[in-house]
Amino acid sequence: MSSSTPGKSSKADRTGASGATGRTGKTVPERTTATEAGAKTGGKSATKAAAKTPTKSATKSATKSATKAAAKTPTESATKAAAKSAPARKASATAAAAKAPAPRKAPKAESHLAMVRRARRINRELAEVYPYAHPELDFRNPFELLVATVLSAQTTDLRVNQTTPALFAAYPTPEDMAAAVPEEMEEIIRPTGFFRAKTKSLLGLSAALRDEFGGEVPGRLEDLVKLPGVGRKTANVVLGNAFGVPGITVDTHFGRLVRRWKWTDEEDPVKVESVVAGIFPKSEWTMLSHRVVFHGRRICHARKPACGACPIAPLCPSYGEGETDPDKARKLLKYEMGGRPGQRLSPPADYPGKPAPALGEG
């Protein structure tokens, strides 16, 4: 075994230090390994390539592009447009609000005294419009008026007036009518509707007049309402127009109008009669009934009142429920107000309209 001499390097050490020594004694250049070569080559190439990569330029370009794109986004333009359009929208809204109709103010509560004064003024106005107001049933005596009023239920006065001439020709007195053959009477009054029920009422009241009142129509309300088919409305019609006893006739027209005029909100005819009777003096009751019914049939209709042609429109709290255009409203007027025949075949002499045609003539 040999040992290294201090201060001298061994052969292996010298070989490793200066490179491999060939057999010729010449020094062989040191071989470079693939790893080292790759490190050298790749390092330089990577460095050069990295230098050429668009890191900085791309960052700058992206930043500029993003800034420009952000500048082009609709945020600012939308804000400016909104700022410009806001006053326009506000102006449009203001103009629309100005054009819209102002809400109607709630009417002030009317005192009872004010309502009574208004109601009486309406009556005076109607008296000027309809000085010829009258019962629209043809009759020559209390018996004929009683019979005609019973027949007028659920039909028009015109249809009754066209029917009663034949009826009274066949049965001119209560005694004659009480002895009538029901089927024959039914055939005569058939045009008025509900002819079987009406025949029963007429036979009953005629017999009662014959047996209890000597063939005469009584002149008291309490007696009249006891007759078959006779209620307060019929009794008041007979008393007011055949006997001169004041009475308020609450039919469908009368009830509708007094509610529209806010005289009362009652629906029951007896209650309506009581309220209206407290508004007007007794002497006005009969003619008030005629005027109100005339107005309801000619102008203040149930479904489409002719508000634009109504002479008492300024006094009506329900004005506007119907047609308010004057020209259109005038086309809704009926009977003499609309230039047409009335309901009576034999109207009073002062009636300005034309008589109604007989049954089968029009």
Task: Quickly count: other Cβ atoms within 10 Å of residue 150's Cβ.
Answer: 22
State the chain's maximal CA–CA distance in angstroms: 180
What's the burial of 282, exposed, middle or buried (CB within 10 Å: 0-12/13-18/19+)?
Answer: exposed
How many other C-beta atoms can be found within 10 angstroms of the C-beta atom of residue 129? 17
Is 223 in the active site? Answer: no
Which one of 138, 157, 198, 233 is the catalytic residue? 233
User: 355, 341 in Cβ contact below 8 A?
Assistant: yes
In sign, the C-alpha dihedral spanning 112, 113, 119, 120 is positive
CA distances to 116, 121, 166, 255, 329 from 261, rounded to whole Å, are 11, 12, 40, 10, 19
Is 233 a residue of the active site?
yes
Catalytic pick from 223, 251, 304, 325? 251
Contacts of 256 (CB under 8 A, 6+ apart): 296, 300, 302
Residues forming the active site:
233, 251
